[in-house]
Chain A
Amino acid sequence: MLRESATFPRTVIHEIQRAAATGIYDIRGWGAKRSLPHFDDLLFLGSSMSRYPLEGYRERCGTDVTLGTRYATKPLHLDIPVTIAGMSFGALSAQAKEALGRGASAARTSTTTGDGGMTAEERGQTSRLVYQYLPSRYGMNPVDLRKADAIEVVLGQGAKPGGGGMLLGQKISDRVARMRTLPTGIDQRSACRHPDWTGPDDLAIKILELREITGWEKPVYVKVGATRTYYDVKLAVKAGADVVVVDGMQGGTAATQDVFIEHVGIPTLAAIPQAVQALQEMDMHRKVQLIVSGGIRSGADVAKAMALGADAVAIGTAALIALGDNDPRYEAEYRALGSAAGFYDDFQDGRDPAGISTQDPELASRLDPEAAGRRLANYLHVLTMEAQTIARACGKAHLTHLEPDDLVALTLEAAAMARVPLAGTDWIPGHVGRGL
């Protein structure tokens, strides 16, 4: 009988062999693939006798959310609390960016630019567009800044907190290169720190500048990868954020070192209670809105994130899947690339058969932005209806009325991280019980 080593399974052996052969770390897309305590480890307490549920179709369950009510004179109003996370033109094809805009607009929610500037296709098809302000400042300009509906200052993302962007030469097409002021075809290495500020005291001044440039109209978000979330959220609020975005380690990326994706950051589940605690201690919960991302897949995830205290969530990987990423109809082509539908994560290579994570004109043209946008809108509606289903069962007339007390945990890990009791007990490991 062959026995595989638990310490050196085939995947590990393969990685050692690959590293020895190439001399470079493994770079890939997608997010963490390891198993982590997640929303699946939480369950809702539906109503029965002590609480009363709402009727499915007749009794209203609100889903809207307003972001940026602290300082912005034009806060962003969304019909649903599910937004599209920042993904760059460059990482994604122009068609994919347009499809994200179409889908989000149809669902009356927002989408977000990325590390590479704003394209006309995206702005044109997007009713609510968040413009990311990143360390690289590729394509950053005041004209687009004023066109944006909100500004997201990015300190990091869940897949790589503390790391900069990366875009390999295969994807630096002429158009991407022009937008980023780079030579065509080179490996782009982005900075991990902003070029003109470091730390929250200087960020406060940067936010002042962005507000002065845009007349104090637009909500200013601050996005952090989940690590020391309690402190980071407090500092984002001190620096003047209208909205804080916390991206857990399951959050996706277009290209990052595998070691970064799998070994840096904390799970989304662990980050939310830290963020909410920080906001509550500052009396800023619901005043500075909290957007959570990293591993949101279903309406149950949406409801759970919101019950833990998020005002909205953002999706990235799931949105790409809705557009058509990893579609089984391209199985043969995925196989030819050494992958398979459901496994493809070589977003950095730019050879995506689905035409999403590519700059190859032929591949990109496979994605019909209208049809893909419709699929995304469908998916967003399903997420919303699922979240409403759960909220009604918990007797809530609005998604934001979900609360941690509606949740229990299936595992000790999830109970400790989410700070909800283990199912059937009043025990929150590491915390004083709140009583039944």
Chain B
Amino acid sequence: MCGIVGLHLRDPDLEPRLGDMLTTMLGEMTDRGSDSAGVAVYGNTDWTPPGSATVTVLADGEDAQVLAARVSARLAAAVSGRELGATVLLSAEVDVDALATAVRTAAPEVVLVGLGTELAVLKGVGLPRELAAGFGLPGVSGWQGVGHTRMATESAVTPAGSHPFSVGPDQCIVHNGSFSNHASVRRAMARRDIHCDTLNDTEVAARFVAEQIALGAGIDEALEEMAGVLDGFYTLLVSTAEEFAVVRDPIACKPAVIAETEQYVAMASEYRAMAHLPGIAGAHLYEPEPGRVYHWHR
């Protein structure tokens, strides 16, 4: 039960302002959920250095440099560590799988909350505006970003339980709503050796979609497959290194508004999150239809 925001930029001139726009969008959704919040930013060269893989972890207060050194020792490659709020970004010039595996083996106690070459996932407990400031979000550039404010329903209020959920390379899901059969789907996935870190229903959806994509599905197919398996109420915003997608359940009670201009595609739970965006007055504004996958390619 939450607020969702997302920005998919078409105009490179806007990229330096991505973090600033996303911060305002996120702050506007505070009333929809003030337990915790999170953002994901694609293509920030500072947070996700080009030519490197980056893994985002929740390290429970462990020093970023110490953690980087531990992973570096395992990887036999240089690893940089950067602390942003409750999260730590670890980057290395290796492939994503190698870095993720090294993190998991060198530091099994940390929770891996994002991985990819372009994606940084930041999350924490507290008010969205304060978290965004703590991450330094207002100043960052990028070409795509999503954010989420959470009013926790049935799982714990922790950084790990916050959205976005990123479980496949450069993939990200944020959700507003409540799945009604996630426990069964979670157990079925566990039998396929896919395990969740949290009891959050959205993580089940994220892992289900990641599994479909790993099996070769496109984002449309993956979401359609998910719609056939996961029951309940949802507005989902799904992003990858190539795509930005929105889907609502067939009943479509949870709010969603899409704004398209030549400069960007924006999506939010409420229009007011987008009211400050440049050129919004001339945007093509609409609410996504039930059960239909909307997606945009880079």
Contacts and interface: CB of A to CB of B under 8 A. Distances in A.
**Complex contact flag A–B (Cβ < 8 Å):** yes
Interface of A: 193, 198-202, 204-205, 228, 231, 235, 238
Contact of A231 (B154, B253, B255): B154
Given A200-B153, A201-B151, A228-B154, 4 more contacts: A199-B1, A204-B32, A231-B153, A238-B35
Most chain A beta carbons < 10 A, residue from B153, B176, B177 = B153
A205 B1 CA distance: 13
Contact of B254 (A199, A204, A205, A235): A199
Contacts of B177: 199
A201 B269 CA distance: 11
Contacts of B2: 201
B154 A198 contact: no
A201 B33 contact: yes
Interface in B121-165: 151, 153-154
Instruction: Enumerate the 5 nearest inter-chain pairs by beta-carbon distance, A residue then B residue, closest first.
Output: A198-B253, A201-B32, A201-B1, A199-B1, A200-B1
Contact of B233 (A198, A231, A235): A198
B63 interface: no
Interface string B30-61: 01110100000000000000000000000000
Nearest to A228: B154
Nearest to B252: A198
Given A198-B233, A199-B178, A231-B154, A205 B255 contact: no
Given A231-B153, A231-B154, A201 B3 contact: yes
Most chain B beta carbons < 10 A, residue from A193, A198, A231, A235 = A198
Contact of B31 (A198, A199, A205): A205
Contacts of A238: 35, 151
22 contacts: A193-B253, A198-B233, A199-B233, A199-B253, A200-B151, A200-B153, A201-B1, A201-B2, A201-B3, A201-B31, A201-B32, A201-B33, A201-B151, A201-B176, A201-B269, A202-B254, A202-B255, A204-B31, A204-B151, A205-B31, A228-B154, A238-B35
Contacts of A205: 31
Nearest to B176: A201
Contacts, number: 37
Q: Is the interface of B mostly helix, strand, loop or mixed?
A: loop
Interface residues of B, number: 18
Interface in B1-45: 1-3, 31-33, 35
A235 B151 CA distance: 8
Contacts of B176: 199, 201
Interface of B: 1-3, 31-33, 35, 151, 153-154, 176-178, 233, 253-255, 269
Most chain B beta carbons < 10 A, residue from A199, A204, A228 = A199
A282 to B, nearest CB: 11
Nearest to A235: B153
A412 B3 CA distance: 43
A207 to B, nearest CB: 11
Contacts of B35: 238
Contacts of A231: 153-154
Contacts of A200: 1, 151, 153
Contacts of B33: 201
B153 A198 contact: no
Nearest to A196: B253
Contacts of A202: 254-255
B237 to A, nearest CB: 15
A202 B254 CA distance: 9
A202 B269 CA distance: 11
Contacts of B31: 201, 204-205
A396 to B, nearest CB: 35
Contacts of B3: 201
A200 B233 CA distance: 13
Contacts of A193: 253
A279 to B, nearest CB: 16
Contacts of A199: 1, 176-178, 233, 253-254
